[in-house]
A = this chain, B = another copy of it.
Amino acid sequence: MKVRNPRTGLYDYEISPYSFDVLKRKVASMRSAQPKWLSAGIDHRIHVLQKWKNILEENRAELTEVLTLDTGRKLETIAEIDFVFKLIDSSCELARREFQNHHFEYQIEAFVSVGVISTWHFPLVFALIDTIPALLAGSSVIVKPSEKTPRFIKVIEKTLSQVAALAPVLHFVEGAEETGNSLCKLTDLICFKGTELSARKIYALAAENFIPAFVEYEGKGAGIVLEDANLERASSAILWGGVFNAGQTFEGIERVFVHRNIHSQFLSRLVGKTNLLTLAIQNASHGAIGPIISEEHALIINEQLADAIEKGAVIVAGSSKCILQKGGLYCRPTILTNVSMDMKIMQEKNFGPILPVRSFLTENDAISFANSVKTKYAGAVFSTNENSALNLAKKLNCNGVAINDVLLSNVFNGRELAPNFMSTITDSRLGDISIRKFLKQKSILISQENTKNDYWYK
């Protein structure tokens, strides 16, 4: 199976999806390795993961290189790898706490075989965000990264081969949709992150196999700027939230609602800052905006922009469609005004660096505009009055809201990770539940010899 390079457009890499039978044998061998992994205890598991972290660190340069090839951008890759090291440490800490909290009466059992189907947006983060907690819980984990960004798998495999205790219970497989579907049939619990459409399919497959599924999908993030907001801060945060990683983020801002009285002041700041951003066409290290991951995604962006323009939207920064440069597809950071709620760009996720800005008069209008999308989303509210921002935040149909910031800061500016800031129908990937969701309690009820037992008849 050929894989496209997002910077050159060339199909210069190839992956070999496992057949169902090979996958089945692999999962079976991991199942038989899992009891030893579990019974070795949490200290051992933490020790092994820390060792793996060190080996990943030794291979940081190579990992950066392949992830840069996979995604076409370097700055984001550097931040991504940093995030993963933090994730390993914070998960180890959480797991230690979790296993200290056990009651004597309950025995904890880990799901034996966990499947992870991850996405291309941040290939390493999403391959590991469920994997690390599951391993710490004591599960074996088989991971299928996106077929759009598979180049890092070989480097990961090389590092795993150096951690004898981990290799039997952690395995990465190459493959596309079919391989992911197979995992739903072969494992005991499935984790998925991707589009809502795929999330629905994976959940249905899990239901068919009668196993739990933890699925997370995109929301169409919204930023709301109140009349008394610090416009300097609001425009910087919203721009970053909208165009970071070329807009290819789950919690990224894709809609902006601004109070009518400050609309033009805000817009001029936003447009000014947007016009300073450059495309990273020459190489992956320089310029703010990298390539769009695939032709399919560029088409969605082009279609939404065309629909908006046809319905009267005006482009005040950026351009009306993706451009092709040296084989890569790029979308200029783009600001739209004169947008109306019936445009696709106001309703459907596009994963592009595009910010449509609409004004509002009353807070109720802002709320009803923001809540007009079908699923929950990431919110951001800007106001110098924290209380009014908070009151508004509570009325938004969001899984998470940032006040005077965007939720991306939560992840990439070193803040604490808060549970449930993504759209998900199940438990969060973050916080205590991140470990606990891979554990089942087995209750053991001990009766003392002298316990009175009334069995009704005896």
Decide yes or no: A398 and B442 within 8 Å by CB, A455-B240, A456-B75 being known contacts. Answer: yes
Q: Check A453 against B244 for contact (C-beta < 8 Å).
A: no
Decide yes or no: A237 and B276 within 8 Å by CB, A425-B212, A445-B401 being known contacts. Answer: no
| Contact residues in B for A163 (Cβ distance below 8 Å) | none
Question: Is the CB of A203 closer than 8 A to any CB of chain B?
Answer: yes
Question: Is the CB of A390 closer than 8 A to any CB of chain B?
Answer: yes
Question: Is the CB of A22 closer than 8 A to any CB of chain B?
Answer: no
Q: Check B447 against A244 for contact (C-beta < 8 Å).
A: no
Stretch at the interface among A119-127, A165-173, A402-410: A402-410
Question: Is the CB of A362 closer than 8 A to any CB of chain B?
Answer: no
Residues 198-233 of A, flagged 1 when their CB comes within 8 A of B and 0 if not, give: 011001101110111100000000000000001001
Q: Which of A230-258 contact B (CB under 8 A)?
A: 230, 233, 236-237, 239-240, 244
Q: Check B453 against A413 for contact (C-beta < 8 Å).
A: yes
Min CB–CB distance A99 → chain B (angstroms): 16
Decide yes or no: A445 and B415 within 8 Å by CB, A237-B453, A277-B457, A453-B405 being known contacts. Answer: yes
Q: Check A445 against B407 for contact (C-beta < 8 Å).
A: yes
Q: Check B400 against A443 for contact (C-beta < 8 Å).
A: yes
CA A413 to CA B447, docked complex, whole Å: 12
Residues 386-403 of A, flagged 1 when their CB comes within 8 A of B and 0 if not, give: 100010011000111111
Decide yes or no: A445 and B394 within 8 Å by CB, A240-B455, A420-B440 being known contacts. Answer: no
Q: Which of A416-458 contact B (CB under 8 A)?
A: 418-421, 425-426, 428, 440-449, 451, 453-458
Question: Is the CB of A97 closer than 8 A to any CB of chain B?
Answer: no
Q: Which residue of B lies closest to A289 (CB)?
A: B457
7 shortest interchain CB distances as A-B pairs: A418-B443, A240-B455, A207-B207, A405-B447, A236-B458, A400-B443, A204-B207
